[in-house]
């Protein structure tokens, strides 16, 4: 893990150095003052994310921390696509002597791509699934809205949360499942904007159930639990909840807890003749969940990489990196996330909210 982090930092520094040098070359005919101003602004933007993480728990004005986070996270994706675009224009310039403004073309392409990615992020997909189980459900069926990876904090603020709450409530769900990472990197901005006021507006007749994600651990799990007590959200940590209609929900603690219970131990606490729904933030060992008799599992965490080509990496890392799949028995849905971490762009991926109608094929006597 440390090696991967160091590698990413080297790649980020190298990419930004490449962009900076090409930018200075483009400004070769400008005065020293212009080049100096460009240098200062450029490296402030490139270092904004690091400055945010160093100060995120310090009592700074919200506008300042919010600006550092927004600029710094956006710069991560700017760097990725600007490097790709520059490489293309620089290689093309070797064969096309008329291509004198490669940096300008690359910059224009990157900014247009980021604009399209931002617009895509602002419009999450609603994925409707009609699933069946041969186990009995009182009333015959239930409607579930399942979301994950909202990442409330400096990136996803109260206004965005208001939109999400309206979107969820418009479905009139019987049950709401939250697959972890509701909170982002710090609980401080969540309290600061009193986001519990919006979460209290969520409505579901059978309740709202959530499991921790790795970011609840990053933010401080105890503080997150204390915050959730201000809402109607029930946090499940290696525990089982049985709904009035007989459906059983297993909420697994995140893999950040190295001592979390096994899925087998949790299933042993259930009635296997009734539907078993598992919420597990990170979608690992899905074949095992299928073999143990899970009827429906909901996970998140992957974000499907958020942007291409990182989505290709998550496709290789996970058995199921996003979307719906029917295994031999289990229905499994891995959300790309209702919101996202950091950069507000979806390029080659989509934010999503699953609306699941679970129907029993067992006839009511």
- In tens digits, what is the pLDDT along the chain, a chain of 365 residues? 577 778 888 999 999 999 999 999 999 999 999 999 999 999 999 999 888 888 877 778 878 888 898 999 999 999 999 999 999 999 988 887 767 788 999 999 999 999 999 999 999 999 999 999 999 999 999 999 999 999 999 889 999 999 999 999 999 999 999 999 999 989 999 999 999 999 999 999 999 999 999 999 999 999 999 999 999 999 999 999 999 999 999 999 999 999 999 999 999 999 999 999 999 999 999 999 999 999 999 999 999 999 999 999 999 999 999 999 999 999 999 999 999 998 999 999 999 999 999 999 986 55
Residue 98: Cβ within 10 Å count: 6
The angle formed by the CA atoms of residues 68, 73 and 75, to the nearest 5 degrees, is 100
Q: Which two tokens stand for residue 178?
A: 């939250």
Tell me if 348 sits within 8 A of 311, measured CB to CB: yes
| Sheet arrangement for strand 248-251 | 239-242, 248-251, 276-279, 296-299, 331-334, 323-326
Which residue bears the tokens 């945010």? 52
Which domains does the chain show, CATH number per domain?
A: 2-121 (no CATH), 125-360 (3.60.21.10)
Give the SS3 label for residue 97.
coil
CA 94 to chain centre: 40
CA 317 to chain centre: 16
Decide: residue 257, CB within 10 A, 0-12 exposed, 13-18 middle, 19+ buried. middle
Residue 295: Cβ within 10 Å count: 21
- N- to C-terminal Cα separation, the chain: 55
Residues 256-298: pLDDT tens digits? Answer: 999 999 999 999 999 999 999 999 999 999 999 999 999 999 9
* Model pLDDT, residue 1: 59
pTM of the predicted protein model:
0.92
Measured CA to CA, the distance from residue 40 to residue 313 in angstroms comes to 34
Tell me the angle at which helices 48-55 and 32-46 cross, rounded to the nearest 10 degrees. Answer: 40
Give the SS3 label for residue 354.
strand
Measured CA to CA, the distance from residue 130 to residue 303 in angstroms comes to 23
All residues at 6 or more sequence positions from 284 whose CB lies less than 8 Å from its CB, including other chains? 255, 318, 319
* Model pLDDT, residue 33: 96
Q: Residue 212 carries which DSSP code?
A: -
Which residue bears the tokens 């709202």? 208
Give backbone dihedrals phi and psi of 295, rounded to 5 degrees, phi first.
-85, -40
CA atoms within 13 A on the CB side of 302: 27
Tell me if 263 sits within 8 A of 277, measured CB to CB: no
- Going by C-alpha positions, the residue among 318, 315, 303 that lies closest to residue 77 is 303
Measured CA to CA, the distance from residue 50 to residue 279 in angstroms comes to 33
């Amino acid at each position: 893990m440390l090696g991967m982090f160091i590698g990413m930092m080297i790649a980020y520094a190298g990419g930004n150095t490449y962009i900076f040098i090409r930018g200075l070359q483009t400004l070769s005919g400008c005065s020293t003052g212009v080049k100096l101003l460009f240098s200062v602004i450029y490296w402030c933007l490139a270092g904004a994310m690091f400055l945010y993480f160093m100060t995120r728990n310090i009592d700074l004005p919200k506008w300042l921390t919010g600006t550092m986070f927004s600029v710094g996270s956006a710069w991560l994706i700017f760097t990725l696509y600007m490097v790709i675009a520059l490489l293309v224009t620089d290689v093309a310039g070797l064969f096309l002597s008329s291509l004198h403004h490669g940096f300008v073309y690359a910059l224009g392409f990157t900014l247009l791509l980021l604009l399209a990615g931002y617009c895509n992020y602002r419009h999450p997909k609603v994925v409707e699934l009609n699933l069946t189980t041969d186990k009995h459900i009182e009333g015959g069926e239930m409607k579930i809205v399942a979301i994950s990876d909202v990442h409330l904090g400096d990136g996803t603020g109260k206004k965005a949360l208001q939109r999400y709450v309206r979107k969820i409530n418009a479905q009139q769900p019987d049950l709401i499942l939250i697959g972890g990472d509701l909170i982002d990197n710090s609980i401080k901005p969540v309290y600061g904007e009193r986001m519990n006021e919006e979460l209290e507006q969520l409505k579901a007749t059978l309740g709202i159930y959530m499991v921790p994600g790795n970011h609840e651990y990053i933010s401080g799990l105890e503080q997150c639990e204390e915050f959730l007590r201000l809402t109607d959200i029930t946090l499940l940590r290696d525990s089982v909840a049985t709904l009035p209609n007989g459906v059983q929900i297993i909420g697994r603690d995140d893999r950040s807890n190295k001592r979390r219970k096994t899925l087998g131990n949790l299933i042993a606490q259930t009635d296997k003749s009734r539907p078993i729904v598992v919420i597990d933030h990170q979608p690992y060992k899905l074949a095992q969940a299928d073999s143990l008799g899970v009827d429906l599992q909901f996970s998140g965490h992957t974000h499907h990489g958020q942007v291409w080509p990182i989505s290709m990496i998550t496709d290789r890392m996970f058995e199921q990196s996003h979307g719906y799949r029917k295994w031999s028995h289990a229905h499994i849905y891995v959300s790309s996330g209702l919101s996202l971490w950091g950069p507000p762009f979806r390029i080659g991926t989509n934010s999503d909210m699953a609306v699941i109608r679970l129907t029993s094929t067992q006839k009511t006597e």
